[in-house]
Amino acid sequence: MRIIRLGALLTSLCMLFACGGGSNTDSDVGTNNPPPTGNGDSGCAGSCANASSFLTVDDVQKVIAQAVNEARALSKPATIVVTDRVGNVLGAYRMTGAPPTQLVNSGRGIVGGLEGIPLPSELTAIAKALTADYFSSEGNAFTSRTAGQVAQEHFAPGDITAPSGPLFGVQFSQLPCSDLSRRFNGIGPDAGPHRSGIGLAADPGGVPLYKAGVPVGAVGVAADETYGVDTSTADIDRNIDEFIAIAGSYGFAAPADRRANQITAGGLSLRYSDVDFSGLTLDPAAAPTFASLGPETGGVIPVPLFFTGTIVRGLAFGQVESGIRPDPVNFPGLDAFVVDDGTGTNRFPPRDGTDGPNALTANEVLTLLRESLAVANRTRAQVRRPFGSPAGETVVVVDTNGAVLGIVRSRDSLLDAVDVTTQKARTAAFFSGDYAAADIGSIAPINYVTGSLDVANGRISFTSGAASDPADYVGAFQAFLPQASALADGAIAYSNRAIGNLSRPFYPDGVPGRPPGPLSPSIESWSVFKTGLELDIVYQQTVAFLIYYLQQSGLTVNLDGTDLPAFTDVPTSCTGVNRIANGISLFGGSVPIYRNGVLVGGIGASGDGTDQSDMVAFLGLHNAGITLGGAIGNAPTGIRADTLVPQGARLLYVQCPQAPFLNSTEQYVCEGK
């Protein structure tokens, strides 16, 4: 089914929807990135969370009051959101005079994509909080600034000779249309992980919250009028949103030795924040209490589809209530956790595939999950502390229809991985099939939109701009290889890394002056908010959710001069294509699964270094094949994407660490498999 163009007739919109920070840099204050002060070594390595590891109502109020105190000192009224570890919004506070929206702007002068769209500040604050939330664990503490650093076209941002970030494109996960992430129940906190209203944030202003070395949530702030990204890591920014968020985290600071600036990726130190507590305008320890904040300061606000307007406690991660709990029965001896519905029922237990006589069996899926998690447990972590920790990974198996056949995760794996790993597994199975060209062609052209808010009249107006047709990427893909039947004959096995190679604004990645891959716009029109096919296939439904949210907030929404009738439904697929219902992913960590040379699904891994995730998926599948007597396995070597050399540069299939295992000197463990 083709999804309707945003600029199409209103009657079509009714049929589809059932009608009825920015980079707010005040000044650069230096050339180095000093580590923020706070808690020292936590002593936690993934097993500290317990039934008491959650934010209380008093905790949430304290975080908000401390953030308000700094915002007042800066004369920058803010919208402040606090979430728990699985993404429930526990509190949302809007100060009097806070900007109602933040305008999407990468600062690169790009037209199209999400650029130029005004987003409600409460949604951007939620996105920032969820990003810090979902990217942090007992072994690592990342902020939304960290996420921005690893998601851009260069790593480190600003170095035009560097390849793309290790999580290139991750901002388009946790989307509001995801079929994996949970929706608000309208009552209060419930099992997660929960969706974001706009995906993940690359904009500073989201900071994780810890208690006794355990991540328990995050704070997100929107105080200026720009939702952007820091495009340079060569200086220190005075980012107002980050100042306020750091103030809010006082007393709940991440352990110093777990922060991003103590962790390296690709030989570079990551960034945590550009301000520490000593650099704040006021001492957060002296902040007035929440109870002392009068109505003239602001107040708690409801957030339609996310928060009732009453501050609540968070859920304890790892307990059944949180939606992430242990499963020693199906995964004995592996310290495995599964995704639960909050009542003790596994949401994604191993099951048979849905795609015919060659379908994966439940036993094969269980074996794939066990073997992959066993690999993860042996693997030396890349982005976790202390040194010598095992990798924290989530593993997902899907069939060729995109149906999730099973999910398992390490105890302390990142929360974003539930959605991202499913994207990865689906990406590998999707692009390796003979249906990919037709499915992409079934997604209708879109018009990018820009918008403006008229607060006085309670109206937001969108204007249609340039069009983009996902089908055009298929032709570009076929011409680029060149291979006239690419994506239509199932002749090549594409890993997630290979599809990522073809989705960069330079090919080969990191070589300035080269043309873009066929699934990406050129660098002149690329930004983190306009990435090519990845965004275009989810754009329609992402903007449709935004329209629905705005209407739920009481605003009249106008498109090209015509007021839209009320939408009464929320998009439940990001693409309209079941095989990639929550979108695609563009960084390594998944491979297709074959039975006797026939594609039967995909397996994805995510949660630690990208190379580690590649290995967990690839080697886990290989080992499962041995256990199952050769019933399934990796793609035949002769059809893997690394047999292709488009534009004179060979594609990659997987990239495994050289000596990856703990307590072992074994090297090149993926060779010959």
Over residues 282-295, the pLDDT tens digits come to 999 999 999 999 99
Q: Is 96's pLDDT higher than 80? A: yes
- Check residue 160 and give its pLDDT: 76
Average pLDDT on 347-359 reads 97
List the structure tokens of 131: 């990003």
Strands (E), 295-350: 298-300, 324-326, 336-339
pTM: 0.94
Distance separating alpha carbons of residues 204 and 232, to the nearest angstrom: 12
Structure tokens at 632: 């399934």
What would the pLDDT profile of 447-490 be if each residue is shown by its tens digit? Answer: 999 999 998 899 999 999 999 999 999 999 999 999 999 999 99
CA dist 278 → 36, 269, 421 (Å): 8, 22, 38
pLDDT above 70 for 103:
yes
CB atoms within 10 A of CB 648: 7
Decide if 35 contacts 276 (C-beta within 8 A).
yes
Q: What is the pLDDT of residue 18?
A: 44
CB 22 within 8 A of CB 203: yes
pLDDT in tens, 234-261: 788 899 999 999 999 999 999 999 999 9
Q: Please state, in angstroms and as integers, the Cα–Cα distance from residue 131 to each residue in 119, 445, 614, following that order.
A: 17, 30, 22
> For position 40, what pLDDT does the model report?
55
Position 10 scores a pLDDT of: 39
How would residue 41 be classed by pLDDT, with cut points 50, 70 and 90?
Answer: low
- For residue 190, CA distances in Å to 88, 535, 659 come to 7, 29, 41
Mean pLDDT of 117-142: 97
* Domain architecture of the chain: domains with CATH: 21-300 (3.30.450.150), 323-432+588-648 (3.30.450.150)
- The alpha carbon torsion through 292, 297, 300, 303 (nearest 10 deg) reads -170
What's the pLDDT score for residue 231? 87
pLDDT value for 32: 33
**Residue 566, pLDDT above cutoff 80:** yes
What is the per-residue pLDDT for 6? 44
pLDDT of 325 reads 98
Q: Backbone phi, then psi, for 405, in 5-degree steps?
A: -100, -10
The mean predicted confidence, pLDDT, of the chain is 92
Nearest to 13 by CA among 3, 23, 21, 22: 3
Residue 512 pLDDT > 50: yes
Name the residue among 498, 430, 507 with its Cα closest to residue 470: 430
- Decide if 426 contacts 398 (C-beta within 8 A): yes
pLDDT of 498 strictly over 80: yes
- The yes-or-no verdict on residue 506 having pLDDT over 80 is yes
Q: Cα(224)–Cα(245) distance, rounded to whole angstroms? A: 13
CB 592 within 8 A of CB 432: yes
